[in-house]
Structure 1
Amino acid sequence: MCKYRRVRNVYTQCGHGVNLPEVEINCELDNCVFSARHPEDCQGEACRNRCWQYHQYPEQYSPNINTLCPACQAAGGAQ
């Protein structure tokens, strides 16, 4: 089933966090209404009974990056 990926980079040298744009991960299954492979003619009650009608829980990542955040790097040091 299709889901979203949420990433928040945490920069350890300044302690700031930066959210990246949310990305939809396509499952490529024909029984998911959000998939690129979902048939166009699958609609109505049959579709509601057969196909996933909602996204799965989002993948969430929060990597620690051992540098300054982009704003602090642009300012020339930790803020």
Structure 2
Amino acid sequence: MCKFRRVRNVYSCGHGITLPEEEIRCDSEKCKFSPNHPATCVPPQCLRTCWQYHQFPELYSPHIDALCPTCAAAQ
């Protein structure tokens, strides 16, 4: 099912930068957010047979061994 990905880069200086949220699309025909969901699948049948919500967001927080852009510019 489709979901959102939330990325927050954490730098060695202790600062973090949250990137814009992005949607990760699935290939399922049974997910109303998927590009493969048929245009002919409409309510009320779609409400009974297809996924109507995004899954829980994927949280990703890489630790980067460098200074954040603000601290790097101040040096």
TM-score by length of 1: 0.91
What is the percent sequence identity of the aligned residues? 60
Runs (5+) with no aligned partner, structure 1: none
Note the alpha carbon deviations across 1:10-43, whole angstroms, 9 max, x for none: 001x100000111100011100000001001100
Aligned to 2:32: 33
Deviation at 1:75, TM superposition (A): 1.9
Aligned to 1:58: 57
Aligned residues: 75
TM-score by length of 2: 0.95
2:12 aligned with 1:5: no
Runs (5+) with no aligned partner, structure 2: none
Q: CA RMSD in A?
A: 0.7
